[in-house]
Amino acid sequence: MFENLSERLGGVFDRLTKQGSLSDEDVKTALREVRVALLEADVSLPVARDFVKAVQDKATGQAVTKSITPGQQVVKIVHDALIDTLTGEGEPGALKIDNAPAPILMVGLQGGGKTTTTAKLAKRLKDREGKRVLMASLDVNRPAAMEQLAILGKQIGVDTLPIVKGEDPVAIAKRAKTQASMGGYDVYMLDTAGRLSIDEELMQQVEAVRNVANPRETLLVVDGLTGQDAVHTAQNFDDRIGITGVVLTRMDGDGRGGAALSMRAVTGKPVKFVGLGEKMDALETFEPERIAGRILGMGDIVALVEKAQETIEAEQAEKMMKRMAKGQFNMNDLRMQLEQMIKMGGMQGMMGMMPGMGKMAKQVEEAGFDDKILKQQIAMIQSMTKKERAAPQILQASRKKRIARGSGMEVSELNKLLKMHRQMSDMMKKMGKMGKGGMLKQAMKGMFGKGGPSPEDMAAGMDPKALEAAAKQMGGQNPFGGGGMGLPSGLSGFGKKK
C-alpha cells in the first residue's frame, strides 16, 4: 500500500541514524526529502507542508541534539506526527450501532466498490460482533446491482431485502426500515446508487434516502487508487450529505497511499476501514499507529498475531506446540505451517508485518520466491506416505525419486525441503527449552489469550536487541537456516525467475 513511500523514507532515515550527532542543517535536509517523498506519494500539498512543519518544530529543539540517538529520535518524531495526521475521532473502526435497528448508509461514486464493501462490513458485524444484519440495495440504475448484493448475501450468510422491481430508492429504504424493525435485526445497511462523477441528480437521491433513513453512520466508500480525487469526492459528499467516516478500497493495489494520509487532515473525517482485496474478509480496521509503523518499516506485529488468531485453530496449534517442545516436528507439522503461511498472506505478506523485515520481503521477491513455491513444497509432502511424513529420516534414494516424480519436482528440490525441515526441527527443540516455560509456549499462549502476553505486549517485546539475543541463544541460527539477511537457505535458488 505504501511501498514507495516506505522505501523513500527508509532511505532518508538510514542516513540519519548512521550519524553520531545531528546538526539543524542535517534535519532540514532530511525533512526536505521527507516532503518530496510525501508529495510523490500523492499526499496533498497543504498536508505535506503542515506535516513537515510540525516535525521540524519538534526536531530542531534541544531534546534531539542532546539525545543519545538523535537519528532515532527524529524517526520517532516523524512516527508520532504520522499518527497525528492519520488519527480521527473515536476508536478505530467503531460504529454507532447502539439502538436497534441501526441504519448504515453506504454512499460513493460508481466503481468504488460500494456493494462489495457493504457485504464485507455486514460479514464483519455478523462474525465479530454477533449482530443480525439486513442488507438492501437501493441501486435501481446499474444492471444487476440488486442481484449482486443478493448473491453476496448468500455467500456470507447475511439476509438481503427481497427485490421488488420498479420501486424507487426512497420506497426501498422505507421497506428496509420496516423489515428490519419487524424481523428483529440489529443493523440494516443501505447500499445506494453511484454515478461516474458527482452530479445533482445523485446528490438529491442520496439526500432523500438520508432523510427517510436518518442513518446512525454514513460511510463514504472511495477507491484508494484515485489518489487526491478521492479527497475531493469526500469533501463534496460531506458538504451535501454529511458523512461520518470513510472506507478506502483497493489499498492492496499499487496506489501511492496519499489519499489515506490526506483524507483525515483535509476532510476532518476519519478513515474507518480499508479494503485489501476481493475476498469477503479482506476488510481491515484503519489503525493509525499500526499504519504509521508499516510506513516507517517498523512492521505490524499486532496485525500478524491477529491474522494468526483468525486462521489457526487453537486446539490443533496446542497439540502441535506440545510436539514441537519435545522436538517432535515431522512433515505433517511442516505442511500445516506452510498452509498457514499461505492463509496469512504468504511469505511477503507476513514479512511486511514483521519489524525490520520489510526490506527482506523485497529481496525475497527479487529472488523469484513466491507463494507458488510454498504450494510446490506442500505437493512434495503430500506425495509421501503416512509413514514417511511421520519419520522423514527413512527417506532413501528410491523413495525420494518416487516422491519427486509424484509431485512433478526434482530430487534436488526435495533434498532442500528435507534440509529446511531438519533445521526447523532443531530450532523448535531449542525454542521449546528456552526461558521460563519456553519461548515457543509463551508465544502460542499469547496468540490464544491463555495467560500469555497479549498481541500488544508481544509487539512491544519485539525489539531488535531481544530478537538478536534470542538468535544467539539458539546458536546464531535464523529460523530458516540462512545467514544474516540473505535468503533462507532452504529456499535460495528455488524457483528462480528465468
What would the pLDDT profile of 114-124 be if each residue is shown by its tens digit? 999 999 999 99
Please provide residue 271's backbone torsions phi and psi, each rounded to the nearest 5 degrees.
-85, 115
Q: What pLDDT does residue 498 have?
A: 38
Distance (Å) of CA 87 to CA 72, 73, 76, 258, 289: 22, 21, 16, 15, 8
Taking a C-beta distance cutoff of 8 angstroms, is the pair 399, 405 a contact?
no
Q: Does the pLDDT of residue 245 top 80, yes or no?
A: yes
Higher pLDDT, 385 or 261: 385
Alpha carbon distance 396, 122 (integer Å): 53
Q: What pLDDT does residue 403 have?
A: 92
- Name which of 55-69, 129-143, 180-194 the model is least confident about: 55-69
Burial (CB < 10 A; 0-12, 13-18, 19+), residue 252, is middle
* Closest to 219 in 3D by CA, of 335, 120, 118: 118
Alpha carbon distance 38, 255 (integer Å): 13
Taking a C-beta distance cutoff of 8 angstroms, is the pair 197, 232 a contact?
no
* Strand, helix or coil for residue 446: helix
Taking a C-beta distance cutoff of 8 angstroms, is the pair 233, 18 a contact?
no
CA dihedral 53, 58, 64, 65 (to 10 degrees): 70
CA dihedral 164, 165, 169, 175 (to 10 degrees): -10
C-alpha cell, 496: 528462480
Q: What pLDDT does residue 118 have?
A: 94
Other Cβ atoms closer than 10 A to 456: 12
Q: What pLDDT does residue 316 have?
A: 67
Burial (CB < 10 A; 0-12, 13-18, 19+), residue 447, is buried
Band of residue 480 on the pLDDT scale cut at 50, 70, 90: very low
Q: What pLDDT does residue 307 have?
A: 60
Give tens-digit pLDDT for 454-466.
Answer: 444 444 444 444 4
User: Which amino acid type is present at position 488?
Assistant: P
Give tens-digit pLDDT for 277-297.
Answer: 788 888 888 878 777 776 776
C-alpha cell, 493: 535458488
Query: What pTM does this model have?
Result: 0.61
* Strand, helix or coil for residue 102: strand
Q: What pLDDT does residue 134 have?
A: 95
User: Which amino acid type is present at position 272?
Assistant: K
C-alpha cell, 155: 455467500
Under 8 Å CB-to-CB from 427, ≥6 apart: which residues? 474, 477, 479
Alpha carbon distance 161, 176 (integer Å): 7
Higher pLDDT, 74 or 244: 244
Higher pLDDT, 307 or 159: 159
Half-sphere exposure of 131 (CA within 13 A, CB side): 25
Q: What pLDDT does residue 137 have?
A: 94
Under 8 Å CB-to-CB from 476, ≥6 apart: which residues? none
- Name which of 164-178, 255-269, 400-414, 465-479 the model is least confident about: 465-479
Half-sphere exposure of 473 (CA within 13 A, CB side): 16
Band of residue 482 on the pLDDT scale cut at 50, 70, 90: very low
Alpha carbon distance 332, 219 (integer Å): 45
- Name which of 31-40, 261-270, 338-347 the model is least confident about: 338-347
Alpha carbon distance 103, 125 (integer Å): 13
- Name which of 164-173, 226-235, 245-254, 446-455 the model is least confident about: 446-455
Q: What pLDDT does residue 297 have?
A: 64
Taking a C-beta distance cutoff of 8 angstroms, is the pair 388, 395 a contact?
yes
Alpha carbon distance 13, 201 (integer Å): 49
Q: What pLDDT does residue 363 have?
A: 63
Other Cβ atoms closer than 10 A to 99: 8
Question: What percentage of the chain has pLDDT greater than the value 70?
Answer: 68
* Strand, helix or coil for residue 190: strand
Question: What percentage of the chain has pLDDT greater than the value 90?
Answer: 21
Q: What number is the average pLDDT over the span 218-232?
A: 84
Q: What number is the average pLDDT over the span 69-79?
A: 74
Alpha carbon distance 259, 237 (integer Å): 16
Q: What number is the average pLDDT over the span 98-106?
A: 89
* Cα three-residue angle 65-71-75, rounded to 5 degrees: 115
DSSP state of 160: E
Alpha carbon distance 313, 301 (integer Å): 19
C-alpha cell, 426: 532443531
Residue tagged 507458488 (cell numbers) = 372
Alpha-helical regions (H) of 241-272: 258-267
Q: Does the pLDDT of residue 62 top 70, yes or no?
A: no
DSSP state of 36: H
